[in-house]
Amino acid sequence: MPVERFLLPGSERGPRPDSRPTGTPNPNDTITVTLALRRRAALDPERHEEPLTRTEFAARYGAAPDDVRRVETFAQQFDLTIVAVDVGRRTVVLGGTIAAMNEAFGTALQLYQSPRGVYRTRLGPLYLPADLQDVVVGVFGLDNRPQAQVRCRRHRRIVGPAAAADTSYTPPQIAALYQFPGTVTGAGQTVAIIELGGGFKAADLQSYFKELGVAAPSVTAVSVDGAKNSPEGDPNSADGEVLLDIEIVGAIAAGARIVVYFAPNTDQGFLDAITTAVHDDVRQPSIVSISWGGPESSWTSQSLTTYDQAFQDAAALGVTVCCASGDSGSSDGVSDGSAHVDFPASSPYVLACGGTRIESAGGALASEAVWNDGVNGGATGGGVSDVFPLPSYQASAKVPVSVNSSHARGRGVPDVAGDADPSTGYRVRVDGHEVVYGGTSAVAPLWSALVALINQARGKPVGYLNPMLYASGAHACRDVSSGTNGAYRARAGWDACTGLGSPDGPALMKLLATAKTT
């Protein structure tokens, strides 16, 4: 008897435009998929004056037992195996053969060749049995294409300390320019860093922090979906992203614990890493730093929705999420002539971090402008979301209508900014080499380290700080009003290049010292 099915909204998928079909996967190969389930109750993250514990969150907003049982029945029906269930994350992981997955989800998986390798995908939407309607929010793992890119840019050459000193800075020097609080170290805080490739070597970290004269922080690697800390031994690889993130956070907030969640670079892996970090009741991160992303147009609707829900979870749990806004200006690297913003930075529940170019003199900031190296270089991402509506906290920020439409006013990106120009970039150590990196990838860990310092100073996590920052009228940030990222130009107040501006350490400490969480 045929199974009555429904179309899973937002699950439509097709091949990358730069790829070609190359066959079908072996029907006997086994894979896993992650099913994201609905919450048992509606969540308004701003309603909670104090953050929930992860146990409280799971009990109030986790997956309902009956919904999990329905998924278990579905798995039995189609010869799939229950691999893992996490009520707080609202995820059920199923395993099975390609043939069983095709039948279970009403699809036909195919293989495609792209410049980034062979990947598995489907054509069109997914179909689930009617009994799961409204229960399943998204299905991740059938498609395994690389989903995100790093948001860092390397300076044009490997340099030594003397050569780099003129135009590059150590992270503590950047922190001093922005007047980060110097009386705290981030002690008692855990900063989660999401990585989708590459790795780090303990020897690099030991050498780097010894050279800086900074106590080496505690750094732990966590495997998600089978990915591991796997350094490639090349500064031009994803190792650069991993070491940049760790070394910025560790050099500025040496007392904080750093936990690096390594996951496969797929929509499933990225989501699982985020939800694992946000709901980790063992390590209990208070900050999540994300320097990977892609234009909104490269994601399925179910991904945009489910990731955004994960960031809502973070807000309710008092976890601050900092995301890089992209390094390809207002196009975000898309060549269709339209403006695009980067996701996950465009989620209203993250702190989107844009980029600037700084000049200093006598140990103080002399000037700061939008980072834009021109057509042959990088530029800060920023603009107006085509997906997420204008959040209430941006109601008075004068977010413009999108240049793509004369009437669409969506979530404005970024929220804040910081030094990102590789020519005034960060001196870090990668695979035995001293390298200068920039990009908005550096700004996410920069703000993450600052939040760790503020959290320690105030004695509790600041959590979802976007509403507090915008309510301050940008008085807690250094306004950046010069430059352009392509389609958008900086101006006084918030703009779609640098948001509210770069960090003003004393002003932020004053604002957030007694502010209520979320």
CA–chain centroid gap for 128, Å, is 29
Structure token digits, residue 23: 């066959």
- Bridge partners of 410? 389
Q: Is residue 237 among the annotated active site residues?
A: no
Report whether CATH 3.40.50.10490 matches the domain 149-512: no
37 in Cβ contact with 92 (< 8 Å): yes
417 in Cβ contact with 355 (< 8 Å): yes
CA distances from 207 to 202, 211, 237, 389 (A): 9, 6, 20, 46
pTM of this structure: 0.96
Rg of the chain in Å (alpha carbons): 22
- Bridge partners of 478? 502
CA distance 290 to 273: 10
Cβ neighbours for 381, distance < 8 A, ≥ 6 positions apart: 151, 324, 325, 326, 327, 328, 329, 330, 332, 341, 342, 345, 354, 355, 413, 414, 440, 485
CA distances from 375 to 35, 327, 329, 378, 421 (A): 41, 12, 9, 7, 14
State the first-to-last Cα distance of the chain, in angstroms, to the nearest integer: 50
Structure token digits, residue 288: 């999540």
Cβ neighbours for 348, distance < 8 A, ≥ 6 positions apart: 308, 388, 391, 411, 466
Q: What is the DSSP letter of 495?
A: B
Cβ neighbours for 307, distance < 8 A, ≥ 6 positions apart: 270, 271, 274, 299, 343, 344, 347
CA distance 301 to 282: 31
356 in Cβ contact with 419 (< 8 Å): yes
Catalytic hit among 303, 441, 448, 502: 441
402 in Cβ contact with 384 (< 8 Å): yes
Which DSSP helix (H) or strand (E) runs through 434?
strand 433-438
CA distance 90 to 58: 8
Residues of the chain with CATH 3.40.50.200: 149-512
CA distance 348 to 345: 8
Say what the pLDDT of residue 516 is.
Answer: 65
CA distances from 190 to 213, 309, 346 (A): 22, 22, 24
325 in Cβ contact with 350 (< 8 Å): no
CA distances from 431 to 150, 198, 231, 427 (A): 17, 11, 8, 13
Say what the pLDDT of residue 374 is.
Answer: 80
Q: Find, among 84, 113, 122, the residue nearest to 302 by Cα.
A: 122
Q: Is residue 56 among the annotated active site residues?
A: no
Say what the pLDDT of residue 292 is.
Answer: 97
CA distances from 89 to 34, 56, 58 (A): 11, 13, 8
Say what the pLDDT of residue 165 is.
Answer: 39
Q: Is residue 245 among the annotated active site residues?
A: yes
CA distances from 78 to 65, 98, 200 (A): 20, 12, 41
Catalytic hit among 67, 241, 342, 431: 241
Structure token digits, residue 510: 């004053």
3-state SS, residue 351 = strand
Say what the pLDDT of residue 171 is.
Answer: 98
List average pLDDT for each run of 10 residues in the chain, which is 518 residues long.
Answer: 87 92 97 98 82 96 98 98 98 98 97 95 95 97 95 63 62 98 96 98 96 95 97 92 98 98 98 98 98 96 98 97 97 94 98 97 94 86 97 96 87 98 95 94 98 96 95 88 97 97 95 72
Catalytic hit among 245, 308, 332, 342: 245
